[in-house]
Structure 1
C-alpha cells in the first residue's frame, strides 16, 4: 500500500540446517517484565510451496528463551494477520523477538508488532505505565506536542504531518526525524489527545508552518503550494473539535471518540525565522482566525519578531548554563504588560563548564530560581515547559540535559524532575509581595573570549583588535580566512577582507581565550540589511557571554546584556544601514565602558550572582501560605521570616526540602532516589519566626492559616 511499501522476504533453503529466521531487538533492546503478557501481531504470506509453520518467541541476547513459542499455522499466498500472546518468563531490559521458519521456501513478513498488554489507564495502544505515571505526577497544566524540531523536519518530506499518524496503526506512515531517529507514529495525534485527557491537561498542538529547521538545510514551501500546509491546521481542529458528521470528526469517532477533545491552543511553527516565516504564518493564521476565532494562537518568536496582532501568546525557548538562569530571577518584573504574554516552551539548564549537566542539583536549583521569577510574573509568563521531557539512556541525541530517563524496564527522574514536580504540586493561586534581604556577594572580574554577530540582520566586521596593558592579544586579518573563529548560526563568509554574516537570523562567531580579562576590544562594524543592528560579544566563557546589542529591539535601543539580561541602563539609539561604525568595549574588573564613534554610550558594572532566592503565594483551596526558597550556597542561610497581613498563622507547618551533599549530585537507573525531596513538619511557625535554609537546597514551606 501507499502507507506500507516495505516488507521483509525470508528465503529458507535448508530448514534442517539449524535455527533459521530473523530477530529484532527493538529500540536498544525490548523491555520485558516477568509474568506480563505481550500481544503479538504480524502479517504473513507464503510464496511457492511455503506454508509454514513459523515459530515466534522472546529471547535474551544470548538466545535463552524468555517465553514459550507461538506457532503460526495456515500460511498461504494471501496476506493474513496472525495474533498471539507471549508471556515473559523473566524481567529483561534487552530482549529480542525471534521468528523462526519451520519449512523451506519463501515467506514474506510485514508490520510485526509486539505490544505490552498492560498500559497506563488500560488504553489500547497505550503508554508504558511507569513512565506515564511519572509525567502524571508532575501535575502538568498542559502538554505541548508533538514538539519541537520534529515539527519542522529536516526536509519538507520529513516534517510532521499529523494525517500520517491517525487511523489503524499498521497504516501509519513512518519517517525519519531531524534528530536522526525514526518515528513509527504508534503514538499519533489521537493518542496524544487521549494522554492529555487522562492527565487532566490542556493539549497544545504545534503544526508545521511551511518552513523546515532553520539550523539545518532550511526549506520554505513555495507560497503557491501552501494550501496543504494551511489545510493541515484547519483539519486538525476539525479532528479534535468537529462534529461526527464532518470528514475529520468522523475519523475521530471511528477511533472510538465521538466527543470532541476541546483543543484550545494552536502553535504555528517552531523556532522559525526570517520574513518567510511571517509570510507563511500570516497565511495560516488568517485562515484559522476566520474559521476558529476563539482559539488561542501562539507564534514562536525565539529567533524572530512578528507583529503582535498575529498572535495571542509568544513562545520563546531558553537553553543555557546555571548562571544564565540565576541571573534572570528578575527578568520579567518590569516587562511591558501591554505586550502579549509569554509561553516559555523549551526551558532547561544544559551545561556547566563546557560539559553536560543532565538535570543535576545545580541545574535544578538554577531552573527553580528562574521559575520563581516566572511564577511571580504569571500575568506576563502564562506557561512554561521543560525540554526534552524523555530520553532512553542508550539513545540520547541530546546528551547534555533531560528530565526523565529510562531503559527497557526502569525509569528515573533527574533532580530537575523533582524540582519541577515540587513547583507543580505547590503552585499558588496568586503570589504575594516578598521582600528578601541578603548580603550581596562580591562580583568577579569579567573574563572570556570575544565575538561578533547579528539578530535577524546582515552585517560586516573588520579591524577587530584586542589589547591588554599595551599588548596586542589579537588583530584580525580576514584576508587569511577565519578558520580560527567558531560560528554559531548564520551564514558567515569573507569578502574583500571583511567578515560578513549575510542571513537574516541569529548568527554569532567567536574567537579568543576564556582567560582574557581587563582588555579593550575595538572593531569596525557595518549593517548591510535587516530590522536591527549588530552584536559585539565579550566575556564569553562556557555558555555565559556578554554582548553589546547595538540597534536592538527593532533598531530602537542600545544595551549591554549578560546572557540576554540587561546590564545597566538601556539607551535609545539606532544603527544606520551601509555605514561603518567604530566600536570600543573596555573591561576593568567587572566594569564595562562602551563607546560608539568615540562617544561614551554605557558605563556599567556587571552584577554579582546571588545565592538566595525566595517567593511566596497563597493557595486559595486551603488558605496555605506557600513559601519557596532556593539557597545555592555551600552554607545554610539563617533567616528570620516575617509574615504580614494574615488573620492567623497555625504553628504547625509542612516543610519539603530538595538537597544533597554536592551540587553535581544526581539520580540514575541504579540510584533513582539518590536526590529526592524529603518532607517533615515544624511547630514553630508564627507571624515571625527563625528558620535555617539548608545549603544547596530548594525549600517549600506550607504554612497553614486556617
Structure 2
C-alpha cells in the first residue's frame, strides 16, 4: 500500500468479550439467521488508496467561524446587504464613540475596499462567532491590525468578557500610512463569550482586525482550527474535494468592476483567494452569508498535503447550477476561465520558476503540490450546454497537461432526464470520470446497494462526490454503511466517494445532515462520521468475492390514503375521486359543501372557494391535506388541479400512511422546471421518476394515478406520463469482505440495519486463519444522535476467539461490525 490505511487501527475506545455481543437465551427467538460464504481463490475488484475522501464546501459557516481559525468576524468591515439583508459593514462590531465605515481612495487596496474610521477616544468591539470569542487559559493568541494614523496614536487592545479581562491589555503605537501592527495575548481565563476591543487616543483608520490562536493545525500561519482539522485527518481521507459545491457555479462569472459591485455575487474563482490575506477579496456566499477567502486555494492544497490526501479542485464551467440554470455565452470569458484553469494547474504543479509556480513559492511552498485530478462544473441542470463547454476545458487541459484526469458530472440527482443525458454525453465523449451527487432517504440506500453492479466496466468511472441519507441519526448512518458495501464491491467502477457536507456550525446551519458538528468551544462526530471513519481506515486493497443470504421480503401492495399539497405556490383542487379496482367509490368530493373529509396538519391556508379547495398562501411549503383510509390499496385517484400563483406547481399524494410516509407526484417542482414522483420514508425523500416540464398558471389539469399492487401509472390530461414499480426490498443485512495486502488480514464488514440480532454462519471458503479476530462494533438505537454532550454511537473494540474456516457469529441489532481475521 502506498498509504497506510491502518493508521488508526480499529480504535481503543473500549474492550468487550465476544460473549457480550451474543444474544441471551431470552433473545434467541428474535434472532434472524443468515449465511456469508467467501471464495478466497477468486479475485474481486482492486480498491484504490484514494477511494474514500472528504468534500469541503463553505456551507453552514464551515470556513469563516469554522475550519479557518480566525476568531474575529467581519474583520475587514466588508459585510454588506448584498451578502445578507440583515448585514451592515459593522455587523459583529459594537462602536463606542465615533466610528464610520468608509469606502474611498484611502482604502487599504483595491480588493479590500472598506475600512473603519475611528475617532479620538473611540473604540470598537468584536463579538466573534457563536457566543463570542473563545479563549483558553494559558494559550496564546496573535492579534494583528492594519492601521493608518497620520498624526500618530496609541491603540489599546483588550480581550474581555462580561466578568472582566481575559488577558493583559496590549498597547500598540501606530503612525503614518497603512502598516500592519501585531501583539500577542496569553489568556488568563477560559471563556466562550470573549470580546476583542480596540480603542484609540487619536483619529485612526483600521482594517483587517485579526485574532488567531497560536495553536493552529500543525501550527501553520493563517491556519486551521486544530480540533476540526484533526477530526478530518482522523478519517484518513484519500482525497480532498474543494471548494464546492454550489459555490463553484453560482453567481457572476465576470471580472471585478465597479459595475459588477467588485466583491459582490461573484462565483468562486481561485485567483481571488491567493496571495496576502489583506489583498484577497471578500464575497457573498451562495449560502447566505459573507466569506473572507482567508481560507483559499493555497490553504486547501496545503491542508490536503498535511493530511496525506490527493487535492481535487473543482472549477466553474460557465453554466450556473443550484437552481440558477443559466449558460453564459461569452467566448472571451470562456477562454479566460479556461486559461485560469491552466494557470491553476501551473500554480499547483509548476516549478518555482514558472509564473504561477513562483506565486506558490512566494506563499511558502516551493515544492509542487502534485495535482492529478480536476473537476469541471458542478450539478449543472443544462447538460448539453455544460458538456459543450466541458469539452473545451478538457481539450485545453489535455493539450498542455495530458496526465491530468478531467472530471465531468451528471447533475444534482441519481436519475432522471438530466442524469441520463449527462451520462450519455459522457460516454459518447469518452470522459474519464463522471461526478454523481444524490441525497436520498435511508430506505433508498438500503434498496440500491446494487446500483453500480450493472454499470459499464469499460465506460467512464464514477466519482461519487456528494452523497448522504437525509439525517444524522444512527438509522441514517446504518443505511449509508449498507450502501458503502456496494461501493466497495464495485470499486472497479466507483473510484472515488465522499460523504457531504463535511462541517456544520450548530448556530449557522443551511443544510442537514453533516459529518462533523461544532460550535466555538467544541466539536463532535456524527453517527455518520463514525461509519465513514471505520470504512476509510479499514478499506483493504482488494475485494474478496463473497455471497450472503438475504432477508425475506414481506412487503405487500402500496397502501395508503390520498393527499393534496403545494410548495411555495397557491393552487386550487376539484373533482377528487378515489375508486377501487372493482369500481367501488371510496371517496368523492367536488367541494360543493365543506372540506370536512380532509385533514390539514401542516403549513398553508386551505379554504373552500367557489366549489374548489384552495391553498391560498403562495409562500408556504409542504401544505399537505389528506383524506381516506391508510389501508386503501389497488385504487384509481382522479384530481383536477389549477395553479393560481407562486413559484411551482402542485403535488398529488397517494399511498399516504402518515405525514412522514407517502408518495407524491410533484408537478412543476424545482422552481417549475421539472416534475417527479417522490417517496417519503420517515420524512426523508427519494426520487423514483423525473421528467423536465413546467405547469402553466390558470390552466386546469386532469391528473389520474392508478395504483395496482406496487405498480403505479400516472396520467396527465389523459395521456400516460410515466409509470414505476416500487418493488426493490430495503435489505437490512449487507456485507463485504476485503483483504489488506500489508497485513494479510481478511476484513469482514457486516451491516445489520434491523432491530433484531443476526446469527450468521460464516464460511471462509477453506482459508487458513487464526483462531481470534479483532472486532470493532458500532451499535445503537436507530434514532440515536451524537451531540456535544452525548455520543451513543461510539466504536467498541473486542476480541472474538471463535474464528475457524467455518464459524458462527451473532451481529447485534442495528450494528456495523468490522472483523479483522489474520490469514496463514
Correspondence for 1:212 among 299, 302, 320: 320
Q: Which residue of 2 aligns with 1:635?
A: 756
Correspondence for 1:386 among 499, 511, 514: 499
For 1:367-415, what per-residue CA distance to the aligned partner results, in whole angstroms no more than 9, with x for missing partners? Answer: 11111111111112111101110111111122x2111111122111011
Q: Deviation of residue 668 (structure 1)? A: 1.4
**Structure 2 counterparts to residues 72-111 of structure 1, below 5 A:** 72-73=172-173, 75-101=174-200, 103=201, 105-111=202-208
* Counterpart check, 1:410 vs 2:531: no
Q: State the SS of the aligned residue for 1:369.
A: helix
* Counterpart check, 1:54 vs 2:170: no
- Say whether the 8 Å CA contact 2:576–2:637 is kept in structure 1: yes
Q: Deviation of residue 559 (structure 1)? A: 12
For 1:644-701, what per-residue CA distance to the aligned partner results, in whole angstroms no more than 9, with x for missing partners? Answer: 042x1111101111012x2111221122x43210001011001111111111111111
Q: State the SS of the aligned residue for 2:203.
A: strand
* Distance in 1 between residues matched to 2:266 and 2:294, nearest whole Å: 16
Change beyond 3 A, Cα 1:619–1:26? same
For 1:195-227, what per-residue CA distance to the aligned partner results, in whole angstroms no more than 9, with x for missing partners? Answer: 111111101110111123341474635334322
- Say whether the 8 Å CA contact 2:319–2:325 is kept in structure 1: no
Correspondence for 1:653 among 765, 769, 773: 773
| TM-score, with structure 1 as normaliser | 0.80
Q: Which residue of 2 aligns with 1:277?
A: 386
* Counterpart check, 1:340 vs 2:460: yes
Correspondence for 1:362 among 468, 471, 475: 475
RMSD: 3.8
* Distance in 2 between residues matched to 1:538 and 1:80, nearest whole Å: 67
Q: Which residue of 2 aligns with 1:327?
A: 447
Correspondence for 1:667 among 786, 790, 799: 786
Correspondence for 1:616 among 737, 741, 756: 737
- Say whether the 8 Å CA contact 2:564–2:626 is kept in structure 1: no
* Distance in 2 between residues matched to 1:602 and 1:175, nearest whole Å: 45
Q: Which residue of 1 aligns with 2:579?
A: 468
**Structure 2 counterparts to residues 23-422 of structure 1, below 5 A:** 23-28=125-130, 29-46=132-149, 51-60=152-161, 62=162, 64-73=164-173, 75-101=174-200, 103=201, 105-156=202-253, 157-216=265-324, 218=326, 220=328, 222-274=330-382, 275-303=384-412, 304=418, 305-306=421-422, 307-308=425-426, 309=429, 311-350=431-470, 357=471, 359-398=472-511, 400-422=512-534
- Say whether the 8 Å CA contact 1:94–1:408 is kept in structure 2: no
- Say whether the 8 Å CA contact 1:67–1:86 is kept in structure 2: yes
* Counterpart check, 1:432 vs 2:551: no
- Say whether the 8 Å CA contact 2:551–2:733 is kept in structure 1: no
* Distance in 2 between residues matched to 1:265 and 1:448, nearest whole Å: 50
* Counterpart check, 1:683 vs 2:782: no
Change beyond 3 A, Cα 1:338–1:509? farther
Change beyond 3 A, Cα 1:291–1:561? farther
- Give the paired residue count: 624
Change beyond 3 A, Cα 1:170–1:258? same
For 1:211-268, what per-residue CA distance to the aligned partner results, in whole angstroms no more than 9, with x for missing partners? Answer: 2334147463533432221122111001011122221111111112222111111111
Change beyond 3 A, Cα 1:154–1:617? same
Q: Which residue of 1 aligns with 2:636?
A: 520
* Distance in 2 between residues matched to 1:610 and 1:642, nearest whole Å: 21
- Say whether the 8 Å CA contact 1:301–1:315 is kept in structure 2: yes
Q: Deviation of residue 445 (structure 1)? A: 4.1
Ranked by relative contact order (alpha carbons within 8 Å, sequence separation 6 or more), the top structure is 2
- Say whether the 8 Å CA contact 1:166–1:190 is kept in structure 2: yes
Q: Deviation of residue 636 (structure 1)? A: 1.1
Q: State the SS of the aligned residue for 1:299.
A: strand
Q: Deviation of residue 468 (structure 1)? A: 3.1
- Say whether the 8 Å CA contact 1:586–1:592 is kept in structure 2: yes
**Structure 2 counterparts to residues 511-550 of structure 1, below 5 A:** 513=626, 517-518=632-633, 519-521=635-637, 539=655, 542=660, 545=663
* Distance in 1 between residues matched to 2:252 and 2:654, nearest whole Å: 36
Correspondence for 1:590 among 702, 705, 710: 710
* Distance in 2 between residues matched to 1:693 and 1:236, nearest whole Å: 49
Q: Which residue of 2 aligns with 1:493?
A: none
Q: Deviation of residue 108 (structure 1)? A: 0.9
Change beyond 3 A, Cα 1:439–1:162? closer
Change beyond 3 A, Cα 1:411–1:520? same
Change beyond 3 A, Cα 1:652–1:69? same
Q: Which residue of 2 aligns with 1:9?
A: 117
Unmatched tracts of structure 1, length 5 or more = 351-356, 454-461, 477-483, 487-507, 526-534, 550-557, 568-574, 576-580
- Say whether the 8 Å CA contact 2:766–2:805 is kept in structure 1: no
Q: Deviation of residue 187 (structure 1)? A: 1.4
* Distance in 2 between residues matched to 1:39 and 1:406, nearest whole Å: 23
Q: State the SS of the aligned residue for 2:320.
A: coil
* Distance in 2 between residues matched to 1:604 and 1:440, nearest whole Å: 19
| TM-score, with structure 2 as normaliser | 0.69
Q: State the SS of the aligned residue for 2:385.
A: helix
Q: Deviation of residue 295 (structure 1)? A: 0.9
Change beyond 3 A, Cα 1:227–1:463? farther
Change beyond 3 A, Cα 1:652–1:584? same
* Distance in 2 between residues matched to 1:154 and 1:664, nearest whole Å: 38
* Distance in 2 between residues matched to 1:164 and 1:182, nearest whole Å: 14
